[in-house]
Copies of this chain bind each other. A is one copy, B any other.
Amino acid sequence: MTKRTGNSLYFNIQEQLLKQIESGVYKVGERLPTEAELCQIFSASRTTIRLALSELEVQGIVERIQGKGTFVKRKELQLIHTRSFTEDVLMQGKEPTSQIVEAKVVPAEMPLHEFLQAPLHAPINELLRVRYADNEPLIYERTYIPWNLAPGLVNDYKEGSLFTFLETKYQLKPKRSVEQLKPILADKTANKLLGIKEGSPCLQVKSFTYLTDDTPLEYSFGVFRGDFSSYTIERHF
């Protein structure tokens, strides 16, 4: 989002600290040396040290706790609206995986009846998946796809991109999707599947995906952990 023009002392210090954090000299949760100690280590003024630490804080690398010091934070995962979860995680040097927790066929009641424009009680494929970045659970997602569009999906789909599977096996190609975001508090399911405390901040993402002729292809209900991810959207005027 920003571009650095020219170098400066604090920028060098920041880079050196970042390298030490990345190489594991300072680990997640550990405290960095105090400001006074860093002044000595880098032969720099307090102002310069503070700027370097502030920049690391802005980037989500460290966290400064009043009266306690500066701690190494788990790096925040940035999810980009126009990319898939898999692409996002790969681009940030982590390994994306997912696990199917449940796969079944359910009758279309409300709201599926409405969201998928499916006849009442018509069969709907339901998948419950947890998505991981480097084995850390980040999202759980319930996905619903009408049986008549993808018969047997719940039995055949095992892993990898669901959209690729839909295209390869059923020649279904999504045209557009609408996502509805809402901040919520973690409930029992989030606690169980994502290992976070009930009441911690999460992002609820309801997603509606349509085919070229506007037939609903998929409805999904996802819950993203808020403690180490953010969601970025770009907009042109």
| A235 contacts B179, C-beta separation under 8 Å | yes
| B114 contacts A182, C-beta separation under 8 Å | no
For residue A117, which residues in chain B have a CB less than 8 angstroms away from its CB?
Answer: 2-3, 5
For residue A58, which residues in chain B have a CB less than 8 angstroms away from its CB?
Answer: 110-111, 114-115
Instruction: Name the CB-closest residue of B to A112.
Output: B58
| A201 contacts B183, C-beta separation under 8 Å | yes
B-contacting residues, A4-36, CB 8 Å:
5
| B226 contacts A182, C-beta separation under 8 Å | yes
The oligomer's copy count stands at 2
Segment touching B, from A98-106, A123-131, A137-145, A170-178: A170-178
For residue A202, which residues in chain B have a CB less than 8 angstroms away from its CB?
Answer: 183, 201
Instruction: Name the CB-closest residue of B to A56.
Output: B110
| A2 contacts B237, C-beta separation under 8 Å | no
B-contacting residues, A157-210, CB 8 Å:
173-185, 199-203, 208
Could you tell me the distance in whole angstroms from the C-beta of A82 to the nearest C-beta in chain B? 7
Count A interface residues, CB 8 Å.
51
| B110 contacts A178, C-beta separation under 8 Å | no
In the assembled complex, the Cα of A183 lies from the Cα of B231 at a distance in Å of 9
Instruction: Name the CB-closest residue of B to A224.
Output: B183
For residue A54, which residues in chain B have a CB less than 8 angstroms away from its CB?
Answer: 109-111
Q: Tell me if A55 counts as interface (CB < 8 A to partner B).
A: yes
* Choice from B3, B182, B216, B235 contacting A231 with Cβ under 8 Å: B182
A203, A216, A237: residue with the most chain B Cβ atoms closer than 10 Å: A237
Q: Tell me if A150 counts as interface (CB < 8 A to partner B).
A: no
| A178 contacts B1, C-beta separation under 8 Å | yes
Instruction: Name the CB-closest residue of B to A109.
Output: B54
| A201 contacts B185, C-beta separation under 8 Å | yes
B-contacting residues, A39-83, CB 8 Å:
51, 54-55, 57-58, 78, 81-82
| B233 contacts A178, C-beta separation under 8 Å | yes
Binding site for B on A (CB under 8 A): 1-3, 5, 51, 54-55, 57-58, 78, 81-82, 109-111, 113-115, 117, 120, 173-185, 199-203, 208, 216, 224, 226, 229-237
5 A–B contacts from the bound complex (CB under 8 Å) = A55-B111, A176-B235, A179-B233, A179-B234, A201-B202
